Amino acid sequence: MEYNTIVKKITPHTLRAAYLYPSIYEAMLSSLVTHIIYFMVNEYFPEIFLERFCMKKLKGAEPPPRSIDTQSPLKDFDLIITSLHYEPDIANIIRILYAAGLDPLRKRREKTILAGGPAVMANPHPYTEFIDAFIIGDAEQSIQEIINIWIQYHDSKKLFLEEISQLEYVYVPSINDGEKIYRKPVQDLNNTYYPIKQIQNTEKEPIYGKGLLLETSRGCKYWCRFCMETRIMKPYRYRSFQQLKNIVEKGIEVNKVDRTIIYSLSFLENHEEQKLLDYLIENNFSASLPSLRINKLSEDILEKIKLLGQKTLTLAPENFSYHVQRIISKYLKIDELIPIIYCVLNKGFNLKLYIISGFKGENKEDIDITIEKIKKIAEHARKKGRKLSITINPLIPKPKTVFQWIGMIDLDKARKIINYYRKMLRGLVDTRPYYVNWAWVQASISLADKTISRVLLDWALRGGDLGSWRRALRENNYSTEYVFKGYRFGEELPWDNIVLGYGVEDVLEKEYLMYEVLSRKSSYS
């Protein structure tokens, strides 16, 4: 049973809009953007009833979709808003449209679909045959302006798209293809909309558990070379302690919870977030923290985190080789990381570590260095009676990162590296590899141009699984060679019309030239 939902009387004059979350219900509840769009549109526009849709299944045939709010079929809604956080979610969008009796192809569909989200902001081109318009920027900064235009032109898809194509942050493939689109971020988080009231469910547990979703900051100060999200979310912005305190005080009461779930790409980067920890402790609230930067941890901070009830910390060293760290530009002082990780275990925390391997320029010596460091951490964890798990990810090259020009290593080689990690760590560490073939799917979509659309359509309608992916590639004679070779430096990229700004495009070219120097060592074989 849900509470904190919005109920409106549907009349002949009610404008009906849908928010489509392309994953399961439990994931939707844990998505802050769901709450932002749902409450913002419904609160700001009394004449509109925006209802929610999500997936029942993540593969195979989807049942006919009905809204969570009124059980209305999706085809009853004139405007559909969605967000792509993860590139393969496009298969879910296509599947749910097909199940609703709506044509997935925009040119043959009367209904208008708008899309935003990280995957879209980096490269909207793989999705242009399915989505009518793309919002390049933060929802709070754009959705109100777009909805005002839709109210005026809701009875004409053509006129609506023409009007929003005039906005510099909206990409409408049928109208302003080839023009520069400039991302529109929220400048001041303290003075933007925040959904203090959030949808709660008494029976179903969200992915991150029940609690108040609390975004403390947006963006990241750092320039880790493999990370797309830090680039599309520039600049780094954070909420004041007073603003965070107000959200918590009101949110805890209205949502009937005593736990906060903190959202931040780079938590503990400012004094306001550190003051928040003290406030939560003083008021006996528990908290769930995101992945933390290792070099921001201290004994004092760890003691505070412990008082918040956190039992497991997630850290992402990515790699323990100094050579690889120079390539990815995350932690350059490797020797300082291990003592901090030991301190985490000493304080009684269980530990999850994220490792990325399979960079071009990485060699076997680099891999062995990382494995030896993990073994020492595992030995220390065992002595302290703590649990240690390692997630091993192959590098997934993304647009707007230096790896758009470098590409991914061969799939067999990527599997060989992950199997080597598992073999060397067997019996010592709980290893959880990310499936290499899914990394390939993700990279294939994220780095694609418009020509991949026929593959995506076939793949989705066949069920959206790995077997369907291979068949769709084969039957459409589509090559993913660009994933492994990378694009040629200096040539035009499919996503060059998307301008992120804040130095992102300038920094990228300098990073590539630096990478060329750093990676001149024999690769793993």
Nearest to 472 by CA among 460, 486, 488: 460
| Domain architecture of the chain: domains with CATH | 2-182 (3.40.50), 211-309 (3.30.750.210), 311-447+486-525 (3.30.750.200)
* Cα–Cα distance, 97 to 83 (Å, whole number): 14
CA 138 – CA 233 distance, rounded (Å) = 9
Question: What Å distances lie between residue 331 and 80, 82, 294, 301, 399, CA to CA?
Answer: 42, 35, 9, 20, 22
From the CA atom positions of the chain, what is the Rg in Å?
23
Model pLDDT for residues 57-92, shown as the tens digit of each residue? 988 889 999 999 999 999 999 999 999 999 999 999
Place of tokens 């081109």: 125
In the three-class reduction of DSSP (H, G, I as helix; E, B as strand; rest coil), residue 124 is classed as coil
Write out the two tokens for 451. Answer: 């020509």
- Backbone phi and psi for residue 110, each to the nearest 5 degrees, phi listed first: -80, -35
C-alpha distances in Å from residue 45, one per residue of 5, 12, 113:
15, 16, 19
Give me the residues paired with residue 135 across strands. 170
Residue in 242, 246, 245, 238 with CA at minimum distance from that of residue 268: 238
Name residue, tokens 């076997």: 364
How much of the chain is in helix, strand and coil states, percent to nearest 5? 45, 15, 40
Taking only the tens place, the pLDDT of each residue in 468-524 is 999 999 999 999 999 999 999 999 999 999 999 999 999 998 888 888 777 664 444
Distance of CA 512 to the CA centre of its chain: 24
pLDDT tens for each residue of the chain, 525 residues long: 899 999 999 999 999 999 999 999 999 999 999 999 999 999 999 999 999 999 999 888 899 999 999 999 999 999 999 999 999 999 999 999 999 999 999 999 999 999 999 999 999 999 999 999 999 999 998 999 999 999 999 999 999 999 999 999 999 999 999 999 999 999 999 999 999 999 999 999 898 889 999 999 999 999 999 999 999 999 999 999 999 999 999 999 999 999 999 999 999 999 999 999 999 999 999 999 999 999 999 999 999 999 999 999 999 999 999 999 999 988 878 888 999 999 999 999 999 999 999 999 899 999 999 999 999 999 999 999 999 999 999 999 999 999 999 999 999 999 999 999 999 999 999 998 889 999 999 999 999 999 999 999 999 999 999 999 999 999 999 999 999 999 999 999 999 999 999 999 999 988 888 887 776 644 444
Name residue, tokens 């035009």.
492
In this prediction, residue 334 carries a pLDDT of 86
**Residue 89: left (phi > 0), alpha (psi -120 to 50), or beta?**
alpha
Cβ-based neighbours of 253, under 8 Å, separated by 6 or more: none
pLDDT in tens, 370-423: 999 999 999 999 999 999 999 999 999 999 999 999 999 999 999 999 999 999
* pTM more than 0.75: yes
Contact yes or no for 525/413 (Cβ under 8 A): yes
Cα–Cα distance for residue pair 156/361, rounded to 1 Å: 53
Smallest CA-to-CA distance from 31 within 263, 276, 310, 290 is with 263
CB 316 within 8 A of CB 229: no
